[in-house]
A and B are shown apart, each in its own frame.
Chain A
Amino acid sequence: MERKKNRTLWTLFTSMLYISAFTFGGGFVIVTFMKRKFVDELHWLSENEMLDMTALAQSSPGPIAVNAAILVGWKTAGFAGMAAAVLGTVLPPMIILSIVSVFYQLFAENRYVALVLRGMQSGVAAVILDASVSLGLNVLKDRQGVHLAVMLAAFAATFFFRINVVWIILCAAAVGVVMAWVQRKGGVKA
Chain B
Amino acid sequence: MILFQLFLSFVQIGLFSIGGGYAAIPLIQNQTVEVHRWLTQAQFMDLATIAEMTPGPIAINGATFVGLRVAGIPGAVVATFGCILPSLIIVSLLSWVYRKYRELPLLQSVLSSLRPAVVALIAAAGINMLLQIAFGGREVRSVDQVQWAGLLLFAAAFAVLRRLKWNPILVMAACGAAGLLLGLLGLF
Interface residues of A (CB under 8 A from B): 18-29, 31-33, 36, 48, 51-67, 70-71, 74-75, 82, 86, 89-90, 92-94, 96-98, 100-101, 104, 107-108, 111-113, 115-133, 135-136, 139, 146-148, 150-155, 158-159, 164-166, 168-169, 171-173, 175-177, 179-180, 183-184, 190
Q: How far is the CA of A98 from the CA of B129 in the complex (A)?
A: 27
Taking a contact as CB atoms under 8 Å apart, the answer to whether B18 and A61 are in contact is: yes
Selected contact of B188 from candidates A74, A115, A131, A168, CB within 8 Å: A115
Taking a contact as CB atoms under 8 Å apart, the answer to whether B60 and A93 are in contact is: yes
Selected contact of B169 from candidates A33, A61, A94, A107, CB within 8 Å: A33
Taking a contact as CB atoms under 8 Å apart, the answer to whether A154 and B116 are in contact is: yes
B177 at the A interface (CB under 8 A): yes
Interface string of B89-132 (1 = CB under 8 A from A): 01110111011001001101111111111111111111111101
User: Count of B residues near A, CB < 8 Å?
Assistant: 97
The segment out of B1-9, B29-37, B45-53, B137-145 that lies at the interface is B45-53
- 7 closest Cβ pairs, A-B complex: A119-B179, A93-B56, A62-B87, A123-B175, A63-B57, A176-B110, A115-B183
Q: A123-B157, A155-B124 are in contact. Are A147 and B55 (CB under 8 A)?
A: no
Known contacts A100-B50, A121-B150, A135-B119; can you find 16 more A-B pairs with CB under 8 A? A51-B115, A52-B102, A55-B118, A63-B60, A97-B54, A97-B64, A100-B54, A101-B50, A107-B50, A119-B188, A127-B172, A135-B123, A147-B115, A158-B121, A171-B117, A180-B106
Taking a contact as CB atoms under 8 Å apart, the answer to whether B179 and A58 are in contact is: no
Residues of A near B26 (CB, < 8 A) are none
Taking a contact as CB atoms under 8 Å apart, the answer to whether B126 and A51 are in contact is: no
Taking a contact as CB atoms under 8 Å apart, the answer to whether A63 and B188 are in contact is: no
Q: How far is the CA of A179 from the CA of B109 in the complex (A)?
A: 7
Q: A63-B57, A97-B56, A115-B183 are in contact. Are A159 and B124 (CB under 8 A)?
A: yes
Residues of B near A111 (CB, < 8 A) are 183
Taking a contact as CB atoms under 8 Å apart, the answer to whether B55 and A20 are in contact is: yes
Residues of A near B94 (CB, < 8 A) are 56, 60, 71
Q: A61-B16, A75-B95, A164-B19 are in contact. Are A22 and B172 (CB under 8 A)?
A: yes
- The 28 sampled A-B contact pairs (Cβ below 8 Å) are A21-B55, A22-B169, A22-B173, A24-B54, A54-B118, A62-B15, A70-B91, A74-B92, A74-B96, A89-B57, A93-B56, A93-B61, A94-B56, A94-B60, A96-B56, A100-B53, A101-B69, A118-B179, A120-B175, A122-B133, A126-B175, A128-B122, A129-B127, A131-B122, A132-B123, A168-B121, A172-B117, A175-B113
Residues of B near A135 (CB, < 8 A) are 119, 122-123
Selected contact of B95 from candidates A71, A100, A121, A132, CB within 8 Å: A71
Taking a contact as CB atoms under 8 Å apart, the answer to whether A101 and B65 are in contact is: yes
